[in-house]
């Protein structure tokens, strides 16, 4: 059994030692960067003392800095279709939503949308579609991946596509993997069985077990990097975290590696969904901070993704607590990047909290002393799955990731940034070379590559 519902509920009700000394022992163990065990997480979830919560947040921030440093990976979602045969009561794409304007992009439109993202400076996209495709079926998705990779604007191209689509069979996952995508991403939405059945009332997604076992099938098909997540607000967030960790434990035991990323969206209003406007277990900002911090402590080497569902203020405080990837300049409707009216809401999956353009988000990231990264070097050099973790755990991955973040950010500034961002951005890069690059030899190599980028070379990475 992957998720033991009764066991988790009983554990949440049982008394636990949340004394200062016990919690501090857990946090000290967390600073060894091996993660903490399930019972330790259960203890941290029950902490409500303000001083101890500050210690939890400080520990999460320290872990984030030790492993990831001051960098944030940026990407854009690319919605190619809102056709869907599921009836998920929290989602605008649900099959019976008559208010939604349905659309599936043609391959030419997909290329056009990609070109718009390239003109903004994006290098990484997350391809998203509802669980119903035009007559071609999965071939529509496979062709869409080819279309995204084929798009060119001058020297600009998309260097890595991640994919969030419906569950597949092992054989179909093998077909998808042949397309050279990065991470396959699928959210369980809620791990609580009864809640899942109440909210998924029709279509293939109503099958809880099939969805839960999808990540297993993707691993069996040869995928190295998989992304999982929860839609917070559907059930008790403490239960969801414990169930998520149970899922991770299952994957590690069976495949030797857990998820590459965890996404932490909160439910937001969606057209035609009463549930989305009145979440049954709404998560406030203080609890959301705790969710991010506890996950960073529990799974220190796993990427944590924050979407533009959250507003700019929330995103800013989340950087320090453990977030390592963010979407930016997002649209959640097919064709949304090419529309003049971005706020009609008639084709969107959900409403956005952060609607700022990419450059404005980047300025905010730089102002927070984080370096924006569009790097895809690990994917293309095979530093994925267990190989990535083997480099990350002793801290070696930073020798690649920080310089590569600098290179991709320098590319962005030379090609897209205004003078204000160039000034603050190159100052940040120089400061990080001085203070965060460990050796003089590596500093020299980084500066040499930055000079080549200044002279016009692109796609430079270690």
In percent, the amount of the chain with pLDDT more than 90 equals 86
Residue 456, pLDDT score:
94
Place of tokens 């962005």: 412
The partner residues of 372 in beta bridges, in order of sequence, read 72
The first and second tokens of residue 1, run together, are 């059994």
Residue 394, pLDDT score:
53
DSSP H or E stretch at residue 174: helix 170-177
The CA-based diameter of the chain, rounded to the nearest angstrom, is: 63
The partner residues of 104 in beta bridges, in order of sequence, read 81
Contact call for residues 458 and 154 (beta carbons, < 8 A): no
Q: What's the predicted TM-score (pTM) here?
A: 0.94
The CA-atom distances, in angstroms, between 11 and each of 42, 62, 285, 333 are 8, 29, 24, 40
pLDDT band at 386 (very low <50, low <70, confident <90, very high): low
pLDDT band at 1 (very low <50, low <70, confident <90, very high): confident
Place of tokens 């009332």: 201
- pLDDT tens by residue, 406-457: 999 999 999 999 999 999 999 999 999 999 988 899 999 999 999 999 999 9
């Amino acid at each position: 059994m992957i998720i033991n519902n009764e066991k988790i509920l009983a554990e949440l009700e049982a008394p636990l030692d949340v004394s200062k000394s016990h919690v501090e022992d857990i946090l000290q163990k967390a600073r060894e960067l091996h993660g903490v065990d399930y019972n330790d997480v259960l203890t941290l979830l029950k902490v409500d003392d303000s001083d101890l919560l500050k210690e939890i947040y400080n520990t999460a921030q320290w872990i984030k800095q030790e492993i990831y440093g001051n960098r944030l990976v940026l990407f854009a979602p690319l919605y190619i279709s809102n056709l869907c045969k599921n009836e998920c009561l929290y989602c605008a794409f649900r099959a019976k939503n008559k208010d939604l304007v349905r659309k599936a992009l043609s391959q030419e439109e997909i290329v056009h949308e990609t070109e718009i993202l390239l003109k903004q400076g994006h290098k990484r996209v997350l391809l998203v579609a509802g669980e119903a495709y035009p007559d071609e079926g999965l071939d529509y998705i496979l062709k869409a991946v080819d279309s995204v990779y084929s798009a060119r604007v001058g020297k600009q191209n998309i260097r890595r596509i991640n994919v969030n689509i419906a569950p597949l069979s092992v054989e179909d996952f093998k077909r998808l993997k042949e397309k050279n995508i990065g991470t396959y991403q699928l959210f369980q939405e809620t791990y609580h069985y009864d809640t899942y059945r109440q909210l998924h009332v029709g279509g293939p997604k109503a099958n809880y077990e099939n969805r839960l076992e999808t990540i297993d099938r993707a691993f069996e098909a040869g995928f190295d990097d998989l992304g999982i997540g929860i839609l917070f607000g559907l059930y008790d967030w403490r239960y969801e975290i414990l169930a998520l960790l149970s899922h991770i434990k299952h994957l590690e035991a069976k495949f030797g590696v857990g998820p590459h990323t965890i996404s932490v969206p909160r439910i937001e209003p969606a057209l035609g969904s009463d549930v989305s406007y009145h979440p049954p277990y709404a998560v406030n900002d203080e609890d959301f901070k705790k969710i991010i911090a506890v996950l960073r402590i529990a799974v220190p080497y796993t990427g944590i993704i924050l979407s533009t569902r959250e507003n700019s203020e929330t995103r800013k405080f989340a950087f320090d607590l453990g977030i390592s990837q963010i979407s930016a300049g997002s649209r959640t409707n097919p064709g949304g990047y090419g529309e003049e009216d971005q706020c009609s809401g008639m084709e969107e999956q959900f409403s956005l909290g952060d609607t700022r353009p990419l450059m404005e988000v980047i300025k905010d990231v730089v102002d927070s002393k984080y370096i924006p990264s569009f790097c895809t070097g690990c994917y293309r050099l095979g530093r994925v799955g267990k190989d990535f973790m083997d480099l990350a755990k002793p801290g070696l991955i930073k020798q690649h990731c920080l310089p590569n973040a600098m290179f991709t950010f320098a590319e962005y500034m030379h090609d897209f940034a205004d003078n204000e961002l160039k000034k603050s951005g190159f100052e940040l890069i120089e400061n990080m070379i001085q203070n965060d690059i460990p050796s003089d030899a590596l500093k020299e190599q980084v500066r040499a590559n930055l000079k080549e980028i200044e002279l016009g070379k692109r796609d430079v990475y270690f």
